Homo-oligomer: A and B are copies of this chain.
């Protein structure tokens, strides 16, 4: 067996576990940085490894269009191509394709769309999405799903039903034993649809399950309620992956509701726009108050950036439009989230996650003047 999920401890709904893959064991809960085009933007694999990152995500849609799955297969697969020897997860391309809006046409069999790069006509079906992901060779691959806009109930129903049919087709199309195919629950923000979807997807024997269609415009409360509904149904003995979520507060709220795996572009996207994540909230390092600040981004942080550079230097790089600022802040932001996940996991293992999360959130400024624990009661 290549894949085995071992739940080591739970505290209320929060879970600490380990998920073995052909490229090593993922300690859960875990946060996966995003390397859309076979690179976590601005970072070498060596820098990425220094952040403590383990699992990373790459995007099938983007790699399918450029450089193409055949080329990556020829180069020995994604791990070899980008030189990442730890676990990789690829999404199915569904989310990106459905984001193309009027550049795509959906039918029962799949989706025809135009490439955002050259306008060429392309097609994805559940079978093609699995085939591409088999060529890419990630450890965890995702079923081809349809992500509806959050508040459209009749479309959410249609998209969910298609997602269910496609999940079964993905399962049937899969041929590689060294990849774990995860099913995806859809259903928008509608509790009945989410229940139906969680039940159906759970009935297919996937080695892991994902919650899709969240963090796409719904409110925080709707997102957390949906996670709760779905996780009551998903089997406890399989890993649960919340797609596209990754603020510090959401990682804690997600773990509280039983999530094991997260991914998000936020850490690296913010970094390229001068914003640093810290354990007490975000810093906009472009702010002139940092111009002569000799402190690191975050006191006590052990990342390369905080061990080496002042806020003043990083702000100078930002003002001078030097891309090194993106690199340095990305290193910090990813490292900070990895540290947070390690601390969360340790707290669960020691049955003190409740205290940990309450203390963390009371110190975390969600927005200036608003602590994170005030936005929800839990």
Complex contact A320–B66 (CB within 8 A)? yes
Inter-chain contacts of A38 with B (CB < 8 A): 313, 316
| Residue from B39, B81, B323 in contact with A41 in the complex, judged by beta carbons closer than 8 Å | B323
Complex contact B41–A322 (CB within 8 A)? yes
Known: A46-B304, A83-B309, A312-B71. A39 touches B317 (CB 8 A): yes
Q: Tell me if A74 counts as interface (CB < 8 A to partner B).
A: yes
A76's closest neighbor in chain B, by CB?
A: B294
Q: Scoring A residues 289 to 315 as 1 if CB is less than 8 Å from chain B, else 0, what string do you get?
A: 001101000000000100011101100
Complex contact A324–B81 (CB within 8 A)? no
Q: Which of A21-74 touch B at CB < 8 Å?
A: 37-39, 41-47, 62, 66-67, 71, 74
In the docked arrangement, what's the CA distance between A75 and B313, Å?
A: 9
Q: Tell me if A319 counts as interface (CB < 8 A to partner B).
A: yes
Complex contact A75–B310 (CB within 8 A)? yes
Inter-chain contacts of A223 with B (CB < 8 A): none
In the docked arrangement, what's the CA distance between A287 and B365, Å?
A: 49
Q: Scoring A residues 95 to 120 as 1 if CB is less than 8 Å from chain B, else 0, what string do you get?
A: 00000000000000000000000000
Complex contact B313–A81 (CB within 8 A)? yes
Nearest chain B CB to A336 CB, angstrom units: 18
Q: Scoring A residues 232 to 247 as 1 if CB is less than 8 Å from chain B, else 0, what string do you get?
A: 0000000000000000
In the docked arrangement, what's the CA distance between A157 and B312, Å?
A: 43
In the docked arrangement, what's the CA distance between A83 and B83, Å?
A: 28
Q: Scoring A residues 310 to 339 as 1 if CB is less than 8 Å from chain B, else 0, what string do you get?
A: 101100110110111011100000000000
Inter-chain contacts of A308 with B (CB < 8 A): 44-45, 83
A81's closest neighbor in chain B, by CB?
A: B313
Inter-chain contacts of A294 with B (CB < 8 A): 75
Residue from the set A37, A291, A316 with the largest chain B CB neighbour count within 10 Å: A316
| Residue from B74, B310, B312, B319 in contact with A66 in the complex, judged by beta carbons closer than 8 Å | B319
| Residue from B75, B319, B324 in contact with A67 in the complex, judged by beta carbons closer than 8 Å | B319
Q: Tell me if A82 counts as interface (CB < 8 A to partner B).
A: yes
A38's closest neighbor in chain B, by CB?
A: B316
18 contacts between A and B (CB under 8 A): A37-B320, A37-B322, A38-B316, A39-B324, A41-B322, A41-B323, A43-B324, A44-B324, A44-B328, A66-B320, A67-B320, A71-B292, A71-B316, A75-B310, A75-B313, A83-B308, A83-B309, A323-B323
A309's closest neighbor in chain B, by CB?
A: B83
Nearest chain B CB to A311 CB, angstrom units: 10
Complex contact B75–A323 (CB within 8 A)? no
In the docked arrangement, what's the CA distance between A313 and B292, Å?
A: 39
A50's closest neighbor in chain B, by CB?
A: B46
Q: Scoring A residues 172 to 202 as 1 if CB is less than 8 Å from chain B, else 0, what string do you get?
A: 0000000000000000000000000000000
Q: Give 7 nearest A-B pairs by CB, closest first.
A: A67-B316, A37-B320, A323-B323, A39-B324, A83-B308, A39-B322, A75-B312
Nearest chain B CB to A153 CB, angstrom units: 38
Inter-chain contacts of A304 with B (CB < 8 A): 44, 46
